[in-house]
Amino acid sequence: QVQLVESGGGLVQAGGSLRLSCAFSGGFFSNYIFGWFRQAPGKEREFVAAIRWDGRNTNYADSVKDRFTISRDSTKKTVNLQMNSLKPEDTAIYFCAGMGGFTWVRTVYTLPRSYDSWGQGTQVTVSS
């Protein structure tokens, strides 16, 4: 079965950068849409970014647009999230998620329930 393992979280000062990575195994990497979601204490899990199966399209939440970049490496079977200009409000547990298939529709890939595989999450803390 598909497994996703995140890494790269940590503590950083406001204005700093972090790079999250998600290692994929157990399936055909090129058949998956991948998303990053985050969940802060007491809040619902929210969409951060998504990338199409072929990497040709990406989409971001307004709150992270122009600061975060999602990418995928088919050779290494990893999905990455480069986070720049971090703010204290970016503090959350970040989750990598995979959705098999070829449905690139924003109302679908922005919803957590659309994804059938999830990583365990990695903590990102941004201090002010």
Model pLDDT for residues 60-108, shown as the tens digit of each residue: 999 999 999 999 999 999 999 999 999 999 999 999 999 999 989 999 9
**In terms of DSSP bridges, do strands 10-13 and 122-127 run parallel, antiparallel, or are they unpaired?**
parallel
Beta bridge partners of 83: 18, 68
Return the pLDDT at 94: 98
Average pLDDT along the chain: 97
Model pLDDT for residues 97-107, shown as the tens digit of each residue: 999 999 899 99
Distance between terminal CA atoms of the chain? 40
For the chain, what percentages of helix, strand and coil (3-state, to nearest 5) are there? 10, 50, 40
**Cβ neighbours of 96 (radius 10 Å):** 28
d(CA 117, CA 50): 14
d(CA 117, CA 110): 14
Mean pLDDT to the nearest integer, 21-44: 97
